[in-house]
Amino acid sequence: MRWASVACAAGLLLALGLARYCSKRADAAARSALVAALPRNFPAPVYAPVPAREAFELGRQLFYDRRLAHDGTVSCASCHRQATAFASPERISPGVGGRRGRRNAPALQNLRWKHTFFADGGPKNLETLPLAPLTNPLEMGATLPSVLAKLNADPVYVRQFARAYGPGPITSYQLLRALAQFTAALISASSRYDRYVRHEAGGTLTAQELRGRALLQRKCSSCHATDLFTDDSFRNNGLSRSFPLDSGRVAITFLPADRGRFKVPSLRNCALTAPYMHDGRFATLAQVLAHYDHGLVDSPTLDPVLRQPNGRLGIPLTAKEQRELLAFLRTLTDSAFCRAPGLAAP
Ligand code: HEC
Ligand code: HEC
């Protein structure tokens, strides 16, 4: 026991010394590693800045820190849980004081590839986005000055921010940018499907999964497109006749054509991210497929893709096709991402 801890401490000291000694090099190496890590099967990212290691680690710490909330009870990770690809397993997850909004907390993954965020595309910038949850009274209920005062009173944070951004009081720009360096680094691209398309070890799909893939390409990829499994557009997929509780994109654009249109979510990790849709109305993927097969309701902005030539709505799927689709969707699960120690609470 004692020897083990001595050896551990020695190892740690050595590691720390080495880390300091090599910090310049490591920084450069981390940068190039992150560039090289861009998945070959993805299109070009929208958000170009490459996270630097120091800022990423700082962002990670902030992401898991409940003290950022007004009453110290809620962190980003309270709603965005790593085990479920940073989505919430609850339909609507509570913010400070148990208050609840109206949307399901989605997976946080591959955000560098998005032009807009949220189900209605309100935020356009990954770096200013954290302002929304930090100050939303239903989420973390804080104000920027109060968060900055807390951080500036904490010598550990002051030191860490100085290492990432240079000396001086911590600013709101630094806080938001650090959080964005963590969220930008949440890249999920090592599912079995990814290994299959990149011809990597372990990348085999069964005949059933391959039939599911072909079905998805034929019936779903006009919206769930590319290897990101979304075209980042807003569509009405037939959930409601009039969208009384949440009308989606129209709240941002005020265009009647956008009523009931919501961001097409990625299907990556969807076997883990129940419940589904902007309001978390479906508890299982089987229910989602049943919706596409026979649950759609009509409205003026329903996506034309979901109108069949015979006047019926939806995407007809036999029981066998549904099993094949489900089998394929499960190949998009990236367990390495959901368990990566480097993305877990520090
Ligand atoms: C109380 C729960 C809650 C907390 C706390 C929370 N979020 Fe969220 N988050 C959500 C919900 C709900 C959405 C979807 C909002 C929408 O679509 O309108 C979301 C969406 C997002 C998105 C956009 C994802 C996308 O693909 O569009 C990002 C990024 C994000 N949150 C980051 C954060 C960060 C960073 C924090 C901490 C500063 C945080 N969240 C705290 C519930 C939460
Ligand atoms: C016309 C565009 C369109 C087509 C075609 C389409 N979807 Fe969707 N899909 C959407 C939109 C938009 C949402 C999100 C709606 C919301 O948030 O309320 C969605 C949501 C989903 C979700 C829930 C994801 C989540 O995280 O909540 C799954 C799963 C899904 N679709 C699977 C499929 C499958 C399988 C097919 C083919 C059988 C398909 N979709 C066809 C537009 C489409």
pLDDT score recorded for residue 195: 97
Atom of ligand 1 nearest to the CA of 68: 38
pLDDT, residue 219, reads 98
Mean pLDDT estimate for the chain? 90
Note whether residue 82 is domain-resident: yes
Residue 262 structural domain: 192-334
Mutate to test the pocket of ligand 1, among 66, 68, 108, 116 (most ligand atoms within 8 A of CB): 108
Query: Would you say 231 and 305 are in contact if contact means Cβ atoms under 8 Å apart?
Result: no
- Ligand 1 contact, 179 CB (< 6 A): yes
Which residue shows structure tokens 């299982």? Answer: 284
Q: Which ligand is nearest to the CA of 128?
A: 1
Q: Is 95 in the pocket of ligand 1 (CB under 6 A)?
A: yes
On whether residue 27 sits in a domain, the answer given is no
Q: Whose CA is nearest to atom 41 of ligand 1?
A: 76
- Output the six-digit token pair for 312: 């019926």
Q: What is the CATH number of the domain that holds 119?
A: 1.10.760.10
Q: Which ligand is nearest to the CA of 327?
A: 2
207 and 158 together in one domain: no
For the chain, what percent of residues have pLDDT higher than 90? 87
Position 50 confidence tier, pLDDT thresholds 50, 70, 90: confident
- Helix, strand, coil share (%) of the chain residues, nearest 5: 45, 5, 50
Q: 42, 232 in Cβ contact below 8 A?
A: no
- Pick the closest to residue 135 from 102, 176, 170, 78 (CA basis): 176
On whether both 200 and 172 belong to a single domain, the answer is no
Q: Kindly report, residue by residue over 189-237, the tens digit of the pLDDT.
A: 999 999 999 999 999 999 999 999 999 999 999 999 999 999 999 999 9
216 and 325: one domain?
A: yes
Residue 234 C-beta-side C-alpha neighbours within 13 Å: 24
Ligand nearest to the CA of 324: 2
Q: Given the CA of residue 134, which atom of ligand 1 is nearest to it?
A: 38
Q: Is the pLDDT of residue 298 over 90?
A: yes
Interval between CA 246 and ligand 2 midpoint (Å) = 17
Nearest CA to ligand 2 atom 33: 220
> What's the number of domains the chain is made of?
2
Give Cβ neighbours of residue 321 (< 8 Å, ≥ 6 apart).
215
270 lines ligand 2 (CB under 6 A): yes
The whole-angstrom separation of Cα 208 and Cα 326 is: 10
139 and 251, same domain (yes or no): no
CA 264–ligand 2 middle distance (angstroms): 6
User: Does 254 fall in a domain?
Assistant: yes
Q: Using a 6 Å cutoff on CB, does residue 78 contact ligand 1?
A: yes
Where residue 147 falls among pLDDT bands split at 50, 70, 90? very high
* pLDDT higher than 70, residue 6: no
Kindly report the number of other CB atoms within 10 A of residue 217's CB atom: 13
| Binding site membership of 117 for ligand 1 (Cβ less than 6 Å) | yes
Kindly state whether residue 181 falls inside one of the protein's structural domains.
yes
Same domain, 142 and 86: yes
Domain match, 184 and 196 both: no
Q: Are 179 and 196 contained in the same domain?
A: no
Q: Give the mutation target among 213, 219, 224, 303 for probing the ligand 2 site: most ligand atoms within 8 A of CB.
A: 224
Q: Are 159 and 217 part of one and the same domain?
A: no
In ligand 1, which atom is closest to the CA atom of 138? 1
Domain co-membership, 133 together with 202: no
Asked whether residue 62 falls in the same domain as residue 162, the answer is: yes
Q: Is the pLDDT of residue 100 over 60?
A: yes
Do 47 and 184 lie in a common domain?
yes
Burial of 167 (0-12, 13-18, 19+ CB in 10 A): exposed
Q: Is residue 141 part of a domain?
A: yes
